[in-house]
Amino acid sequence: MSMMKEFREFAVRGNVVDLAVGVVIGAAFGKIVSSLVGDIVMPLLGLVVGGVDFSKLGIVLKEAVGETPAVVLAYGKFIQVCFDFTIVAFAIFMLVKGINRLRRQEAAAPAAPPAPTAEEKLLVEIRDLLKK
C-alpha cells in the first residue's frame, strides 16, 4: 500500500474530520470565552475588589533601560487566563452533562413492545377458550 493511499484513508476517516471540526469550533469558542472573561467578568470583578484591573497587575523585576523593555512578572494576566480556563471547563462540563442526561433518557425509555400479530392474537384466543 502506497504512502499516499494510506494517508488518504487516514484523512477521510470520520474521526479525523470530526476532530478537525472540533478543533475549529473549539478555537472560536475560546475566543468567545476570552472576550467574556476579559471584557465582562474581569471588569466586574475589578469593580467589586476596588477598581483593580487584573490584566495590568504585575511585578517589575527589572526596569526598562533605553531600548530594552522592562522585565515584568504579569500575574494579573495569569489570573485572567485561570478565569478563562474555569469558564471553559465549566461550559464543557455542562455540555457533557447534558449529553449524558440525553443518553440516559434514551437508554431508560425502552421502546414500547410491538402490538401482537394476528397469529399471536389467535393463539391468545385459543388459550383463553381452552382455559374455559
- pLDDT at 1 > cutoff 70: no
* Domain 3-111 indexed as CATH 3.40.1410.10: no
CA pair distance 87, 80, nearest whole angstrom = 11
pLDDT attached to residue 48: 81
- pLDDT at 129 > cutoff 80: yes
Q: Residue 68: beta bridge partners?
A: 65
- Helices then strands, each counted (H, E), the chain: 5, 2
Taking all residues of the chain, what is their mean pLDDT, rounded to a whole number?
Answer: 82
- pLDDT at 34 > cutoff 70: yes
**Nine-digit cell string for 107:** 437508554
CA pair distance 19, 84, nearest whole angstrom = 22
**Interval 36-59 mean pLDDT:** 79
**Interval 25-39 mean pLDDT:** 82
The torsion of the CA quartet 113, 119, 124, 130, rounded to 10 degrees, works out to: -160
- pLDDT at 112 > cutoff 80: no
Q: What is the DSSP secondary-structure string of 59-85?
A: EEEE--BTTBPPEEE-HHHHHHHHHHH
Query: For residue 126, what pLDDT band results from cuts at 50, 70 and 90?
Result: very high
**Nine-digit cell string for 119:** 397469529
Cα atoms found within 13 Å of the Cα of residue 70, Cβ hemisphere only? 10
Tell me the percentage of the chain whose pLDDT exceeds 70. 98
**Interval 34-51 mean pLDDT:** 79
Tell me the percentage of the chain whose pLDDT exceeds 90. 5
Per-domain boundaries in the chain: 3-111
To the question of pTM greater than 0.85 for the whole model, the response is no
